[in-house]
Structure 1
Amino acid sequence: MATERILHLRRITTSLAVLLVLFSTINTGNCDAQVPLVLWASEGVSLPSQSPPTAGHIVGQQQLAAYLEKALSAGPRNVLLFLQDKMSIEDFTMYAGAFGNKQDSVFPNLEGALMSSLSPLVLPAVSWPASNAVIGQLQDHLETSPLYMDADTLSQLRLNASSPALLVFRLPYGVGADLMSAKEILSGNDEVIGQVLSVMKTQSVPYTAIYTALRPSREAASLSMDAGLGGGRSLLQARGGYKERERERERQRKINEKALIHRPVEYKEGEDTCILLWAKSLTVSILRSGRWEDHDLTSDTFGEGVSPKLHGSSCDQTKSRLVLNYENVLGHRSFKLIFAMGQRHYKVSARRWFTLDVVELEYDGAKAAFNGSRNIYAPAEYSYRCESVTSFRWPLLVPRSSKDPANQWRISFEDFQIQGFNVSGGDFSYASDCAGFFTPGIWMGLMTSLLMVLVLTYGLNMIMQLRTMDRFDDPKGPAISVPLTE
């Protein structure tokens, strides 16, 4: 009994220390560019001891791969990956209970799992392009394909401790949501985690669990700095170049407006158009000797009188494949840009959706593949449009794994639009845009309007409460006398 009590106190102390590290990292570095990652094992299973990074250190893709490889080398090979759309360290510091107090926390199930785990690992700051590659890294380590599931379907699955499995549970995050709705969404995600862990406990199968996100939920500051909007000092230093930048923007705007009259890339199967692709600009880059070499493919793909070679393309009711063939690109005589799309019916939404599964670069017999199915999707009868689709700096296209040659390549589209199914009349269908509807500006306007309505309502209520006197003094009557007493 004494030994069990000592082990239990040791677990609690370790978990509290982990939570303290998690909560204390709010001021370490720029949190806008990273996401947290939490790793633990089922109760009674010990993972290899790993030292967390120092405060302020950002875990990159290679270092994260080393952490995962060490954990899976001796730990359970049934992996539960809870992949949230967006998450930042602020989500824990704002909503997690202090020192594991579940009454004040929206993460009681997560904190309970950490408390019961013998060797949890918390990485407060992971480069979110690295977190995007977690699925590919786990797939390489486990040598198995990921299964996208929910708690209900998991209860129908029978796992085997001797056979590796990678189970992915997608968790939402409110885009543009206020604090209350974000708290409710995170609380709902924690309930999903609790349901999944309960199912795994009933099956008595040891597991390794990972909780992370695709991108940070706090992006405004970084975006403004990247756009050159947040540095007052830089504006003062660059005041002389303001007019020059404005002229360049105006020139680029006119070029873009002129480019809009050009037709998109169009692939026909017989007489019917089945694939459409358009972008204002298309650039590919390769890393050589520590430097990025760029090649602009816009003029070879889009424009008046341009007809790119599309041999190798195909389309049917469930799959579409668009192949753009080039020559002499970045030193490669043969170069292909391939878009592979799929269409399937999803029971949850009761409709068909299409996804851009892979964007592939094929050059002189070698291949580099970027996964886009997690971020680029739309209803099957719509087209997909996004202002920027890149494999770097807020990427929507990510390499399949850390070992994929795609890590040596970059691809960038500006004003990207694609449709691989249900094309009618040779024109794009209604576009499903990647941008959220409730932007910060819209929320500011709604909150200001609500505040003004409340002030007006309060003022009208005060006016309605005014009452006139129902009795008045009679000036002709006797005056009121007040006797004086000594």
Structure 2
Amino acid sequence: MALYYNILIFVITVLSINLVSSAEFVPVYMWGTTKLSERVPALHKISQDSFKDTLLEYLKEDPYIIVFVEPTLSPEDFAQHDQNGEIAFPNLHGLKKLRSHVAYKPYVQNPVKAVKQLNKEVTELSIGSLLSSSNVPKDNILIIDLNDAKDDEPRFHMLKRHDSDIVSIYKDILEQRNNVLAIYTANHTSWIAPEDITHSRSRSLLQLEDSEEKKDTGIRFSSAHLLLYLSDKGSYKVNKDTSNITIDNSFMLSETSDMDNKENITATLSGSSLSINFAIKVNNVSGYWYLTSMSVKTDKENQLVGISDYFAPRDFSYHCSTFNLSTVDRNATLSLPGFQIQPFPKNNTFGDAYDCVGFTSVPIWSGLFVTIILLLIVTFGLTMMMDIKTMDRFDDPKGKTITITASE
């Protein structure tokens, strides 16, 4: 009997986990030619069945339903602004000027599944195929997939481009049909998305973390097992000759080691008059990789070797904003701004950065030092105050005079 009880508990637990994992809430932005319900629901989140009942009410007017589906979307996307203070959806926010009735629901469970359960004929198209063809399907429900993100396109720009396409398509359909209901939603939330979606939307290069709106002017080099990045043009300067060799896009990164070797990499970043040799060793036991040596050669046979303690965990990249190396006599200097390097990268993208500036930097040590001194002073002062002894004897005018001896 106990065995059946344990099996029942296990089945209930698994079903509960599946129900929780499948419940994903995304925003829904609705507008149409007929008046939409703008009542605020009693619950903060709307279930799939409740949203389906809402759509069934709209179907009484027999509208043509068009659904624009993003791969990921969250309420925060509607509130973000760029550096100029502009929002990502200016056209959607201006739909009321087209005499369209608008309703917004921030958290709806699986709205796309609810639409497909309306017992209506459904046609699914991509945004690219619909824009290339002017023919609109005659089915009752049209679902448009907006998964057309371009390479290196910031998410804000992608949403702004979709905003323009959505309103343009809506206007075209409005000219052909009298009653239209449009829905803008997503399959997943962009804040709690699956791992593969989060990875495809991430920006691993450090130069894009400050602001996605800035144009990346860096230089990226890659070979079979190595990635190298510079935020700006590098330079190699020899003081005596006052010559300065610029490291730019004309350089090529090539590996000179065994391509099947998973522990050691020897690569060369070469240009017309300068070559930089890298030697990297991966320690699978400790889980770290090390930049063991680095040398510079020019036409005049000048060499620069100055590598020590440059390492990072496996699957991490090493980054340093001001990476400068000099010879012992300070005659030659190699400058690589925004230097970032990683061996054996996954999917040809940088992993998380292991920065050359440690966690306990000079400002942090200064703050800790001042705080410790302040604590010592306060502790010393409190100790001195606690050692102060107050009078515990007082003269009585009607009694005997207090006599204090020398020992007291």
- TM-score, normalising length: structure 1: 0.35
More helix by share: 1
TM-score (norm 2): 0.41
